[in-house]
């Protein structure tokens, strides 16, 4: 008997993330990828393409809207009132982090194109951020409710195809 395994697919043109178990589509989420488009180079602020996997799951047990800096919860909870006290244009990382690692040597793994060392995540974003259009600095932004749901469905090692 073959057991279906979860896998994720990020479609850059459609700005969607699909959760599948085997070939069965379970959910499709609106996302926001890089405003600079696709690309694999260090410091490009582009979303890397190709096959990846979830290298780390961060934030289990923290409340929704938890603010993360350098992958650590700050103890703050995002709200419009809190955001108004922060510098304009801050790139919020909220709720949960699924840290991606490249799986294709020379393309998104190793050297100046390494997804892991670029700190590329699937992560939550403030509710007022527009999804369905590119706008991030390389990561894949999701609604907080969506990243909470997704976080429970995947494990470290889950494949993620970005195309």
Residue 125 is part of a domain; what is its CATH number? 2.40.440.10
What whole-number distance in Å separates Cα of residue 55 and Cα of residue 142?
18
pLDDT (tens digit, 9 = 90+) per residue, 32-91? 999 999 999 999 999 999 999 999 999 999 999 999 999 999 999 999 999 999 988 888
105 located within any domain: yes
152 located within any domain: yes
Return the exposure string of 114-144: e unless at least 16 CB atoms fall within 10 Å of the residue's CB, then b. bbbebebbbbbbbeebebeebbbebbbbbbb
pLDDT at 2 over 70: no
1 located within any domain: no
Residue-wise DSSP of 117-159:
TTT-EEEEE-TTS--SS--BSSSEEEEHHHHHHHHHH--TT-E
75 located within any domain: yes
Domain that holds residue 105: 6-162
Average of per-residue pLDDT values in the chain: 95
> Which pTM does this prediction carry?
0.95
pLDDT confidence bin for 3, thresholds 50/70/90: low
For tokens 């304009």, what's the residue? 88
Q: How many domains does the chain have?
A: 1
What whole-number distance in Å separates Cα of residue 117 and Cα of residue 97?
15
Calculate the CA 30 to chain-centre distance: 12
The answer to whether the CB of 151 falls within 8 A of the CB of 60 is: yes
Q: Which region holds residue 18: left if phi is over 0, alpha if psi is between -120 and 50, else beta?
A: beta
């Amino acid at each position: 008997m073959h057991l279906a395994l979860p896998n994720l697919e990020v479609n850059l043109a459609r700005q969607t993330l699909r959760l599948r178990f085997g070939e069965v589509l379970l959910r499709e989420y609106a996302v926001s990828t890089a405003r600079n488009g696709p690309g694999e180079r260090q410091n490009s602020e582009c979303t890397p393409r190709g096959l990846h996997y979830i290298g780390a799951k961060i934030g289990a047990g923290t409340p929704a809207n938890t603010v993360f800096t350098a992958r650590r919860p700050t103890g703050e909870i995002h709200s419009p009132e809190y955001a108004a006290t922060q510098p304009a244009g801050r790139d919020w990382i909220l709720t949960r982090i699924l840290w991606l690692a490249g799986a294709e040597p020379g393309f998104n793994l190793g050297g100046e194109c390494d997804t892991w060392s670029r700190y590329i995540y699937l992560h939550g974003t403030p509710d007022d951020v527009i999804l369905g259009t590119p706008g991030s600095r390389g990561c894949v932004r999701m609604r907080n409710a969506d990243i909470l749901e997704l976080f429970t469905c995947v494990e470290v090692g889950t494949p993620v195809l970005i195309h």
